[in-house]
Structures are given as structure tokens and as C-alpha cells.
């Protein structure tokens, strides 16, 4: 399955500089080809994630919709391939 990683949500927090009060997390899906890269193309910062999870003080969390769109498209492509294999038998 797909692995998720939390990053700062730039839309909700205003970036790394503004993490004091209402910290928001954005969950990306990690690329299988490159574990430092999210499916949406976002570079993942490991230290940020570890610090966020250790602190455990996220105010809000949401999933990255571009990442989820890639997952959905990949799963549909796999379904289509399985369907084609079954049809060929």
C-alpha cells in the first residue's frame, strides 16, 4: 500500500515560519520510486515530519488532494489491467 507523510500545510499555517499556534498538517502520499518525494511532486522534509509527529500538536490535518488523485488514477489503471488480463484468459 501507499505510505503517507505529514508536512506543514502551507495554506493553513503560512509556512515553516508560522508554526507556533495553530499548526496544520498536510498528509502527502510518498512516491514508490523516491521516498523523499510525494506523488504530487512535493519534496518531503524528513526532519519536519519527525518533529511534528513527536510533538503531536497538530491543530488540523488534511490529505493532499493532488497526491490522492495520483493514487486514485494508479488504482484505476491497475484495475483496468487486471480486467484486461481476466478477459484474455
Nearer to Zn ion, 18 or 68 (CB): 68
- The residue with its CB nearest to Zn ion is 64
Nearer to Zn ion, 32 or 81 (CB): 32
CB of 19 to Zn ion, least distance (A): 19
Nearer to Zn ion, 23 or 64 (CB): 64
Residues numbered 28 to 87 that lie near Zn ion (CB under 5 A) are 28, 38, 40, 42, 64, 67
Looking only at the bridges linking them, the beta strands covering 4-8 and 24-29 are antiparallel
- Cβ(32)–Cβ(69) below 8 Å: no
| 30: nearest Cα among 15, 46, 16 | 46
Span near Zn ion by CB under 5 A; candidates 11-19, 27-35, 53-61, 68-76? 27-35
Residues that bind Zn ion (CB under 5 A): 28, 38, 40, 42, 64, 67
Amino acid at each position: 500500500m501507499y505510505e503517507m507523510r505529514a508536512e506543514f500545510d502551507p495554506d493553513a499555517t503560512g509556512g515553516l515560519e508560522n508554526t507556533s499556534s495553530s499548526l496544520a498538517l498536510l498528509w502527502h502520499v510518498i512516491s514508490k520510486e523516491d521516498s523523499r518525494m510525494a506523488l504530487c511532486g512535493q519534496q518531503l522534509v524528513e526532519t519536519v515530519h519527525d518533529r511534528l509527529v513527536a510533538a503531536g500538536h497538530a491543530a488540523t490535518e488534511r490529505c493532499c488532494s493532488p497526491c490522492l488523485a495520483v493514487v486514485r488514477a494508479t488504482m484505476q489503471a491497475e484495475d483496468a489491467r487486471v480486467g484486461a488480463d481476466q478477459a484474455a484468459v
